[in-house]
Amino acid sequence: MDHVVSGIAKFQKEVFPQKADSFRELAGGQQPEVLFITCADSRIDPSLITQTEPGELFILRNAGNVVPPHSNDTGGMTASIEYAVAVLGVTHIVVCGHSDCGAMKGALSPESLVSLPHVKEWLGHCRAAVEVVREQKGEVCAEHLDCVTSENVALQLQHLRTHPAVAAKLATGKVQLHGWVYNIGTGEVLVYDEPTRSMSPLTGAELAAKSAAEA
């Protein structure tokens, strides 16, 4: 904990002064372009991965980067998604899974979660991803972790579409959905392609082309 506290002191002394103008502007409000939904895993740092500044990402985190399907039972994820889309006006929503995900390991082995009833119930939102892999492979085991991780990203994108605020913006082309999987060990980011239901690397050339198209 000491290094966390000392980090605050360093931020206030060295970092904040260099970006004081930006922070003064942000103090009056936010206009993020991207809603970034990812895992609570301590190894994932959305701003570091995307090299973005404060105010650019509206970040939601939980075990397994889960988006519960919309229901009349209000939860933190549902309320935050609604706020990001309907009030803040984000134009892109990213669901980002990652390698070696403990939540996905739990989804693969629900019997191991007997002593963690709330975790087990939460990961029920990932069950369809496990069943897709079971249908494809004939079984599911630890070696299918990457497959389940990718399928879970695709599943949570489906769940996003059930949220009224998201559905409305999708229908008018005001929001785009993106599915990513980040590899902790290599830094690679895989992108989900819905028509082919496959993942492919987000390459430097693709990034340059996208930047040029948006310029």
Q: Closest by alpha carbon to 123, among 102, 141, 100, 138?
A: 102
- How do 176-182 and 92-98 pair as beta strands? parallel
Residues in Cβ contact with 31 at an 8 Å cutoff, skipping those fewer than 6 apart: 55, 88, 89
Rounded to 10°, the helix 127-137/145-160 angle is: 130
> Which phi and psi (to 5°) does residue 77 adopt?
-65, -45
Say whether 39 counts as a known binding-site residue: yes
The phi-psi region of residue 84 (left if phi > 0; otherwise alpha if psi is between -120 and 50; otherwise beta) is: alpha
CA angle 85, 86, 90 (to 5 degrees): 35
Q: Are 110 and 104 in contact (CB under 8 A)?
A: no
**Distance between CA atoms of residues 86 and 89, nearest Å:** 6
Q: Residue 198: helix, strand or coil by DSSP?
A: strand
- Consult the annotation and say whether 101 binds a ligand: yes
Q: Which pair of structure tokens corresponds to residue 195?
A: 């028509």
On whether 41 is known to bind a ligand per the annotation, the reply is yes
Closest by CA to 156, choosing from 97, 91, 83, is 97
The length of the chain is 215
Binding residue positions for Zn(2+): 39, 41, 98, 101
Binding residue positions: 39, 41, 98, 101
